[in-house]
Amino acid sequence: MVSSTTPETIASQEMKSSPSQCRRIFALAGLLALSAFPALGQQPTDPDMGKIHGRVLNPRGLPEGGGTVSLSTDEGVTYLYDFAVSPTGDYSGQVLPAEYLLVYRTPTTPEGKVVDFIRGVEIVAGQDTKQDVDMSRKEFTSRLTQEQQKELEEAKVNAPATPAANSEIAGMSADLTLVNQDLQDAQNARATAAKNLGADASLQEVELAAADIEKTKYTEIETLMIKDTTAMPEQPVLWLDLAHAEIGLNELEDAEGNYKKALDLANKAARPDPILVAAADAGLGEVYARSLMVDEANAAYEAAAKADTANAAVYLRNQAVLFYQLKNAPAQVDAADEAIKADPGQAVLYFIKAQGLALNAPIDPDTNRIILSPECTAAYQKYLELDPTGPHAADVAAILQKAAGAVSTPPSGAPGEADNKDAENKNSDNR
């Protein structure tokens, strides 16, 4: 995604947001990570690429959820990479090696404006660079207007003043940092297990080792968030992380209750944040999908899409991916249809739909060819049209050839059958 701004925006005007936007930055409320599930057919890490990760902290030093971290090599004229910020203020991504200008914007930052920026962020191939966006640093606060600095001082005055309360906030922030690392470790559990066991390890050995890593990480998150929700029960982001860990541990009943607590807290806020409300609704959708409660899951994802209309396509895509991972063919077809309505340009949605429709396709006894419905054929063909060299292109072409014997061969070098194991992992939250 490429966004336009001007170099002067970065050089001379760093935070000309409205007072209401500043108040939002000073708040603790977390928002939804816009990439709630791993990409279907996710490609392995490119050794020629580098990684970046970090946390966005507001001027009080607390996690700031929501918004976007972007990278630019031309002083903000164009943004080469955009990374969604999770409810706990975390972001991460894979980028080409270079020296970048990093920019942070909230969901309501006006076009051409920024909230914070950091120059000289260097990404090295094969390395993971940690770069926080800490708006409590003097470099940032000195750029605030007098009105914004006054708001910040008022926020500090109104913050819990006792040593015990301040200690709780500091401890929570440290816990959320560890939670973010645990979530990344759980997401990368299979790759870590394979590396630790070596090339001679069997698939079963890798799967068992990965399951042990996931259990350890999710258990640690659960322990930390039980402690923090007890100390600060009014913070919905803590209940969201607790519920996510419980999904990872297959404690679905507990996860349902804690997503409902997060949703209740979010709705009781003086100004309910639609993205935070949607995060809780989407979490409930995952719980219900995993519990085989399809109607309830559909209703919860629909609620998430309605609560945060700007990101409706993301929630609906996640719903389709989840049902695909759970091998619920009828539900994945319906969910893919809804997601396609919201964003018809996502190739993977047509693949998900076609796979669901093809699952029970009969075989012609005379020709030994698959008998695909016209709707299924059209979905496969649309996938190839949108992503002719994608991870499933060769397999889709082979299916169509076996069914009809007439489809263009994918371009030379197109990948073969994608390894969908990554997509069948439990969903990690970068939520």
CATH code, 143: 2.60.40.10
Residue 226 falls inside a structural domain: no
d(CA 85, CA 2): 17
Task: Tokens 């404690």: give the residue.
Answer: 251
- What's the distance, Cα to Cα, between the start and end of the chain in Å? 21
Residues with Cβ < 8 Å from 360, sequence gap 6 or more? 329
d(CA 402, CA 391): 19
54: part of which helix (H) or strand (E)? Answer: strand 50-57
Contact 53, 81 (CB under 8 A): no
CA-wise closest residue to 240 among 214, 269, 263: 263
**Residue 298 shares a structural domain with residue 386:** yes
**Residue 137 shares a structural domain with residue 245:** no
Residue 25 falls inside a structural domain: yes
pLDDT in tens, 303-339: 999 998 888 999 999 999 999 999 999 999 999 999 9
Final residue of a structural domain among 130, 159, 188: 159
Final residue of a structural domain among 128, 159, 190: 159
d(CA 424, CA 117): 36
| Structural domain count, the chain | 2
d(CA 324, CA 418): 15
pTM metric for this prediction: 0.63
**CATH code, domain carrying 399:** 1.25.40.10
Residue 188 falls inside a structural domain: no
72 pLDDT exceeds 50?
Answer: yes
Which own/partner pairs from 119-122 qualify as long-range (CB within 8 Å, at least 24 positions apart)?
Answer: 121/52, 121/71, 122/98
The percent of residues above 90 in pLDDT, for the chain, comes to: 50
**Residue 52 shares a structural domain with residue 150:** yes
**Residue 129 shares a structural domain with residue 264:** no
d(CA 241, CA 89): 12
43 pLDDT exceeds 80?
Answer: no
Mean local confidence (pLDDT), 376-398: 93
Q: The domain containing residue 22 runs over which residues?
A: 7-159
Residue 388 falls inside a structural domain: yes
Mean local confidence (pLDDT), 208-213: 95
Residue 79 falls inside a structural domain: yes
pLDDT in tens, 177-204: 788 888 888 989 999 999 999 999 999 9
Compute the mean pLDDT over every residue in the chain, rounded to the nearest whole number. 80
C-alpha dist (Å) from residue 48 to 44, 96, 97, 310: 12, 7, 8, 34
**Residue 252 shares a structural domain with residue 390:** yes
Final residue of a structural domain among 97, 129, 159: 159
277 pLDDT exceeds 80?
Answer: yes
Residue 178 falls inside a structural domain: no
**Residue 67 shares a structural domain with residue 152:** yes
d(CA 178, CA 200): 32
Pairing of strands 128-130, 133-134: unpaired
